[in-house]
A and B are shown apart, each in its own frame.
Chain A
Amino acid sequence: MIRTETYLDWNATTPLRPEAVAAISATLASCGNPSSVHSWGRMARQTLEHAREAVAALLGPISPDGVVFVSGGTEANHLALLGAERERVLVSDVEHDSVRQAFSRSEAIPVDGDGVVAIDALDRLLAADSRPALVSVMFANNETGVIQPVAEIAAIARNHGALFHCDAVQAAGKLVLDAEEIGADLISLSAHKLGGPPGAGALVVTGGTDLMPLFRGGRQERGRRAGTENLPGICGFAAAATAALEGVAVYDRVRALRDELEDQIAEIAPDAIVVGAAAPRLPNTSAIAMPGVAAETQVIALDLDGVMVSAGAACSSGKVGPSHVLAAMKVGTEIAKSTIRVSLGWTSSQADIAHFLRAWTALYRRHRNFTSGACAA
């Protein structure tokens, strides 16, 4: 029997887009170092600068000069939080670990039950202490897909003279973004979440924010990031960014599939819960709780049926312990322990959804029958 496999873990990483494969292959075959002055080097430099324009376009009509290429979203977040050298760093309770762990003395911004940043609380936190501050709030959450009111957050940060960093790793390529509308001074991007290769990302400086480099050495990236640029990775990132923007309409279809999946779950299992459903969300993400069944159990059972999802962020999927995102949303331990993340992508199909629903329903019925049987006995 040929086992069909359904990949619904797109927020962890995505398959490479064909455009990115072509760009990477072409660049890998050449050997220039963009810092070299000979013609191989100059060709590499030219390729690099074109890539910078393509990546900048993910954030609308902005200057490519602000794009600092780094090794990925984690490094971008570190460069933002540490490189800005602010005395206070305020991060929301639902940020990715790479933001939460970057600055040792960071202060927490609470969120409401839907995972949306409590704007008033942020205002009070900033008003209470006038030291130079940086506020870091993600555009959309990796576990729940919940979208933050970034423009409001930017306005509050600006009122208090604070810098605003926005981790847009999950949103870029799924939504049409505009740096000006976001209002952030610093924006993090990652290639492998939008069909580019892992090992490439960018921190975009939208204004004149000075950054202290995290890696010191050569004067690459205008002195903001030492180290030979990962040119094939960057070209793959650029090609994927262009393809993502051109094909962003596919997310209308993805949203319809995701909504259908959630509707079906609601019909099959009245006790199932979609976390963050009341808030604006990414079109592809669904955090679904099957109360009473541990998330790890669900993930393993679904994997045996050929369906790949995760029990939260991939970086921590080897760890045990409930998600900090769900804890911050105060969903309750029972829900937190039984929530899986289902995330779709541009090739996800009706058949994928059907496959997931078959596997999920079978698991749900097994557990419900067992539970009700146990109760009757």
Chain B
Amino acid sequence: MTPVLAHPRPQELAGAAANSPPIYLDNQSSTRVDPRVLEAMLPYFTENFGNPHSTSHTYGRIAAEAVERARGEIAALINADPREVYFTSGATESNNLAIKGAAHFARAYPQGGQGRDHIVALQTEHKCVLESCKMLEREGFAVTYLPVEPNGLISLAALDATISPRTLLVSVMAAHNEIGVIQPLPQIGALCRSKGVLFHSDAAQAFGKIPLDVEAMQIDLLSISGHKIYGPKGVGALYVRRRPRVRLWPLIDGGGQERGLRSGTLPTPLCVGLGRAAAIAGAEMAAEAERLCRLRDRLLTNLAPRILGLRVNGDLEHRLPGSLNLSLPGISAQALIEASPSIAISTGSACTSATVEPSYVLRALGLSDDLANASIRVGLGRFTTPAEVDFAADAIADAASRLAAESGTPT
């Protein structure tokens, strides 16, 4: 069997719109599996198909060893012990498990957490964090949704003021899925630790792209995704600190896999894929970050003089390489996307991209509805080339000027 490895790429960039698949610039939404990751996974789909929990026979043991190797690769990238890494079905599950799990454990064993029942999350957290918090509110927990600065960064003073002796957990996304900003994790970690508060970080976008160190950053719970780092969909992980031990109530119980925290047969090929993706991301992180920053600057430099009032949303310095959120005043982002079918970009989070509401993230940054609706997200990735970036800049600028001409707005 020959796996399909060829990355669909427009043969002739100039004629791309006609029948080639569009250039993929939505790498915050999902990424293509790296061929090296696919190669590592395939044997565990086929000849090494054993159930990793069937450790009484060879097939099971081969699978179990592969899972443990992958666990080690993930742990190594965040300076954790492999025993602190729990596999899940993805970052959504990891975030649900971290937040609801910590809350439900604290409720079940109030003596351990001194009756703490208050949770703090940024207003700009991913939907799955906010929705988990909302569920806990209905169950009687108190939740503070902390505003952010206009550049998308947390106010440490506001966080400090919000934390009370009742505060159980603070959840802050390491790097943002829509606006790309990177939060000051070491400072947040230090603050939380000094007050005995658990620090959870949704690192679905950050893991594998920027250095993360759960010790230096004093992170207690860290959510990880496979398909954001050129690994497979359907797998993620949750880091859970052992010292001092963080206790969670499981979301899924049953066979007792993952030391009782997450039951269900582990998908060996997906675990292997996540491990390999983590190893590759770690090895290539510095060079790739530099390359993506150059490409991002190239795109911005190319676009800025051609679009009136173009603005970048979110802090430009503390930012994921490759991530851009742009407002094009007076241009409907939805219309722009429809007018440039040769590139795949988005208006924001994929989870909510079918909705017409303006992004709650951009609103939290203080953008008006009009400006929020004039904003696009461009996500460059490992397979993005300079030629594709130039093509995309032309496509965006051309579409913007066409739309502006139609509506009579000068560009």
A-to-B contact residues, CB < 8 Å = 5, 7, 9, 12-16, 18, 20-22, 24-26, 28-33, 35-41, 70-75, 77-78, 96-102, 192, 197-200, 214-220, 226-233, 236, 296, 299-300, 303, 308-311, 313-319
Contact = CB atoms under 8 A, between A and B. Distances in A.
Interface of B: 1, 3-8, 21-22, 24, 26, 29-33, 38, 41-42, 45-46, 49-51, 53-60, 89-93, 95-96, 126-129, 131-132, 134-135, 227, 232-235, 251-257, 263-270, 337, 341, 344-347, 349-355
User: SS class of chain B's interface: helix, strand, loop or mixed?
Assistant: loop
A64 to B, nearest CB: 19
Contacts of B264: 71-75, 98
A9 B234 CA distance: 25
A231 B251 CA distance: 23
Contact of A197 (B29, B45, B58, B91): B45
A97 B256 contact: yes
A49 B24 CA distance: 22
16 contacts: A13-B51, A25-B38, A30-B8, A31-B24, A32-B30, A36-B350, A197-B270, A199-B270, A214-B96, A217-B95, A217-B127, A218-B127, A233-B234, A303-B57, A308-B57, A311-B56
A316 B127 contact: no
B287 to A, nearest CB: 22
Contacts of A308: 54, 57-60
Contact of B234 (A77, A219, A230): A230
Contacts, number: 288
Given A37-B353, A218-B352, A317-B54, A75 B252 contact: yes
B344 A41 contact: yes
A100 B256 CA distance: 12
Contacts of B49: 13-16
Contacts of B53: 12, 314-315, 317-318
Contact of A39 (B21, B41, B132, B251): B21
B178 to A, nearest CB: 13
Contact of B45 (A7, A24, A102): A24
Nearest to A308: B57
B89 A75 contact: yes
Contacts of B341: 39
A97 B29 CA distance: 35
B234 A314 contact: no
A74 B354 contact: no
Contacts of A219: 351-352, 354-355
Given A41-B26, A308-B60, 6 more contacts: A9-B54, A28-B232, A36-B29, A217-B127, A230-B232, A315-B53
Contact of A232 (B95, B233, B253, B265): B233
Contacts of A200: 234, 267
